[in-house]
Amino acid sequence: MSAPRTAIRVDGATLLVRTIGYGFIGAFALVCLLPFLLVVGTSFTSESSIARHGFNLWPRVFSTFAYKIVFENPDLIIGSYWVTIGITVVGTAIGLFIVAMTGYALQRPDFHYRNQISFFIYFTTLFTGGLVPYFLLINQYLALKDNYLAVLLPGLLSPFLIIMMKSFVRSIPHAITESAKIDGAGDFTIFLRLILPMTTPALATIGLFIAIGYWNEWYNAMLFLSPDMKYRTLQLFLYGVVTSADFVKNSAAASNVDLRDLPLESMKMATAVVATGPVILLYPFVQRFFIKGITVGAVKG
């Protein structure tokens, strides 16, 4: 948050910008919200109503049937939640640390090898060996089949985030590092004690991205975690719920129900709500880290 303002006159242009700001952002936020409300509303609508009238914001015929089916195996879905949360938390913590550390090192102008290493990392975004070698690597050489690490490890780092971090850290003047070095501090200590606390917005951003990446992760789980595992990731579980017609057809909740009411569409919506719900709450929590970094007033002259 900015320092308390002195009495500066708010001029016309500023007012204009603010009005446009509130208007545009407000409208856009609304546009973002509405389809989501559509999803939520439809998830609570009876299937026959959906068949007749399509999706709607407000359920014409209210029904929690879809949720009953999704939560039918509470053990499985809770297990999936925990697995996903665990992977997300651990992965984000480790990944964020490594990204920050690497990003800092790479922006140090006195780091002789920074350009080469940057290119080394960046190059991996251009060329990829493809699915078969990747599958062989994880499945055979690293022997991570049916192992949560198969989902955790590949998602730890991404060149994009490292380069982003590099860019963020660069805005902290090198003078800080230099003066700390003069005081005798080592590179790592400087990073840990001095720089890291200054980059909270960057850390928050990157941490958020990593976390969301893990939360949405589906492909690696699909490839490497077989049904032999009791609990798999949330997205994979929910995908299975949606595509497995038998699941619905033969669930106890559905056995005495008019087939017109079998919650197929509403179930797809319900799984989306179930998957997204917790993450929505994550952002407000992270938002508080988006404070202006400690200014460089600390090092003047």
Partner 1 sequence: MNKVKKLSAIVPVLTLAAGLAACSGGNGKEASPSAGEKSAEATKASASASASSSQAAGAADTSKFVKISYVILGDKPKNGQFDAALAEINKIMKQKINAELEWKWVEWADWQTKYNLLLASGDPVDLITIGTDWLDTWGNAQRGAFMNIDDLLPKYAPVTWSSIPQEDWAESKYKGKIVLIPENAYTQWVNHGFFYRGDWAKEAGITEPVKDWDGIEQYLQYIKDNKKNVIPWDATAAVSTFGGWVNSYTKELELPISTGWLPVFTTKSVDDPYTVVSPIFDEDTMLNYATKMKSWADKGFWREDVLNYKGDTRTLLKGGMTGLDQHHTQTFGTLRVDMDREQPGSELQMYPFARTNGNLLELSITHGGTSVGAHSKNPERALMAYDLIRNDEQIYRLLNYGIEGIQYEIKDGKRVLPAGYDPKKNEFYSDFWGGRNDKLEIPSSTVWDQLPTTLYAEYDKIKHPYPYGQFVFDKTPVDAELTAISQVTGEMGPSIAFGKAGDPAKAVEAFKTKLKAAGYDKVKAELQKQLDAYKQQMQG
Partner 2 sequence: MNGPSAAAAPSDAGPAAQAIAPKSKRRTAWRTLLGNRTLLLMCLPAIAFFLVFSYLPMPGLYLAFVQYNYTDGIFKSPFVGWDNFRFLVITGDLWRLTFNTIAYNVMFILLGNALQIAVAILLNELRSKWFKKVSQSLMFLPYFISFVLIGLIAYNILSYDYGLLNGFLKMIGADPVKTYSNPHLWPFIIVVTYLWQSTGYGSIVYFAAVMGLDSEIVEAAEIDGANALQRISYIVLPWLKPTFIILLLFSLGGVLRGNFGLFYNLVGANNSALYATTDIIETYVFRSLMTNFNFSMGSAVSLYQSVFGFCVVLFANWLVKRMSPDNSLF
d(CA 89, CA 151): 13
* Angle of helix 74-107 versus helix 200-216 axis, rounded to 10: 140
Q: Based on the shown chain and the rule CB under 8 A, indicate whether residue 292 belongs to the binding site for partner 1.
A: no
Q: Is 41 in the site for partner 2 (CB under 8 A)?
A: no
- Select from 41, 59, 91, 154 the one that contacts partner 2 (CB under 8 A): 154
Pairwise CA distance, residues 115 & 87, whole Å: 32
d(C-alpha 23, C-alpha 9), whole Å: 22
Q: Which of 4, 227, 284, 301 binds partner 1 (CB under 8 A)?
A: 227
Residue 256 CB, nearest approach to partner 2 (Å): 27
27 or 257: whose CB is closer to partner 2?
A: 27
Q: Of these partners, partner 1, partner 2, none, which one is at the site of residue 182 (CB under 5 to 8 Å by kind)? A: none
Query: Nearest-CA neighbor of 266 among 75, 31, 81, 48?
Result: 48
Report the run of H or E that residue 205 belongs to, with start and end.
Answer: helix 200-216
Residue 119, binding choice from partner 1, partner 2, none, Cβ under 5 to 8 Å by partner class: partner 2
Q: According to CB under 8 A, which one of 4, 7, 112, 258 is a site residue for partner 1?
A: 258
Find which of partner 2, partner 1, none residue 163 binds, CB within 5 to 8 Å per kind.
partner 2
Smallest gap, in angstroms, from Cβ of residue 257 to partner 1?
11
Under rule CB under 8 A, residue 170 binds partner 2: yes
Q: Which does 223 bind (CB under 5 to 8 A by kind): partner 1, partner 2, none?
A: partner 1
DSSP string, 54-116: ---SS-SSB--HHHHHHTTSHHHHHHHHHHHHHHHHHHHHHHHHHHHHHHHHHH-TT-TTHHH
Closest separation between CB of residue 48 and partner 2, Å? 14
